[in-house]
Structure 1
Amino acid sequence: MALEWEQVIVDAAGPQTLGRWWAEALGWVVVDDGPEEYEIRPEKDRLPGLLFGTAAEGKTVKNRLHLDFRPDDQDAEVARLLALGARRADIGQTGDEPWVVLQDPEGNEFCVLAPRRA
């Protein structure tokens, strides 16, 4: 039996708006821009993707699942994401972690990790 990771589903108040934000943040392409579902992928035929669907309720607590990203330059990437509309998030970190916790425009947390050591 084989499993292929297709996508991560993200509930959103505005699937198109949030999906467009993530497409710009990641440099990914849009593969479905319907009003109820908005899907992006690294490339048209490359998996996994992110699928943004409509949620009736808003986000109220810390995510139980979040994405981690490892850039070449953490400071530059955090600055770029903040300029796109991300916000810093306090989820109880102590301050000496090698990652930065941010939230997307709808409050979903994600981490920007320090560059990988050689």
Structure 2
Amino acid sequence: MSLSIGAPVWGVQDIRQGVAFWTQALDYVPRDEPQEDWASLVPRDGDGVQLSLMRVSSPAEDRRRHHLDLFTEDREAEVERLLGLGAGPVDWDYEDDADYIVLSDPDGNLFCVVQR
């Protein structure tokens, strides 16, 4: 098995505001230049878990806005293994260069399997 938690993904309506808050709250820095709809934050000292911010349109009380990104060296093999364990496929509108596959756990919670 080569699957690990890569990052919790936190849904925010304003990426710049989210970056400003979470970098100060956690003493994190952006891993790369934040995009309009995505930012990956890492510990300033390099030791710890990445936090990814994803722009969402829904208010927090209307919908689940957080999920896990699971990183792997072999996405297809891990997806097959997880489906065999009871994960479910999710109908998702992927962009052309998507490096992830969205699945749901047996309780319906979404998560992504991301090619490292």
User: Structure 1-normalised TM-score?
Assistant: 0.46
Higher relative contact order (CA 8 A, sep 6+): 2
Q: 1 or 2, which has the higher strand percentage?
A: 2
Question: Structure 2 length as normaliser, TM-score?
Answer: 0.46
